[in-house]
Amino acid sequence: MLLTINMGNTRTHAVVYEKSHRSPHYATATVPRVEHYVQWLKAISLVAPTRILLASVVPQAASALAAATRELWGMAPELVKPRADLGIRFTTVDYEHELGADLFVNAVISHHDYGGNILNVDLGTASTFCVIKDGLYLGTSIVPGMELSIKAMIQGTALLKDFTLQKMDKVIQDNTTACLQSGIYFGYFELVRGMITRIQAEEGPLKVVLTGGIGTFLHDELAPYVDYFRPELTLEGLQLIARLLPRLE
């Protein structure tokens, strides 16, 4: 039984694979507390996994998760990091060491499944736009995510109140909450569409692969600009890596 875990800055996601069976998608907050993950993992699986693969961009929380898996099952996760034996090459050694594990995993599975020239668009806490050409990871552009932008705006203003994300039918609204919702909704859509268009202009035709929680929220609007929508791309990539490598050293 394989337990795959994608630990982002805000949320941690997991899926269990056993032969041809795939569990539901599980998610929890990313926090650096061992007991938090003990309770979460107990709810996910009553049986000890044979392997655990973890992609994390939060070292303290990853350490807490590893302590939880050792407490529950006497085993630590195999931590996925950029490496040269999974079909992805890098322009510099420094960038290989700097690249986030999630972006590397996304590159591995996108290259494996689609080949050629790829633009991975991952819309989460941060929004990342990553270009891979024939297995060469050229680079990334990063902007604050939609929810992070909302938090920054609310914290930096005296009169604006928090609000929930919502799809809107027109840009101009006539109450403060709706004005904020329309601005974020249409503004972020235009940001992502503009980034895809500009990157294509710089790099030539690219197969656009969309993922991430906000990617799911904006998928309908972004569909004309996206070739493949893979909401669980990183978890699927971890499963692929587990198939390709019997053990991560």
Domains and CATH numbers, the chain: 2-79 (3.30.420.40), 89-231 (3.30.420.40)
Distances (CA, A) of 40 to 11, 51, 191, 238: 12, 17, 35, 20
Sign of CA dihedral 22, 9, 212, 184: positive
CA distance 52 to 239: 10
Q: Would you state the pLDDT for residue 159? A: 65
Q: Would you state the pLDDT for residue 69? A: 97
Give pLDDT tens digits along the chain (249 positions): 999 999 999 999 999 999 889 999 999 999 999 999 999 999 988 789 999 999 999 999 999 999 999 999 999 999 999 998 999 999 887 888 899 999 999 999 999 999 999 999 999 989 999 999 999 999 999 999 988 888 887 777 766 777 788 899 999 999 888 888 899 999 999 999 999 999 999 999 999 999 999 999 999 999 999 999 999 999 999 999 999 999 887
Contact between 62 and 7 under an 8 Å Cβ cutoff? The reply is: yes
User: Cβ neighbours of residue 211 under 8 Å, at least 6 residues apart?
Assistant: 106, 120, 121, 122, 123, 229, 230, 231, 232, 233, 234
Contact between 142 and 133 under an 8 Å Cβ cutoff? The reply is: no
Q: Read off the tokens for 119.
A: 């633009």
Q: Read off the tokens for 243.
A: 């198939």
Q: Which residues are catalytic?
A: 102
Contact between 111 and 132 under an 8 Å Cβ cutoff? The reply is: yes
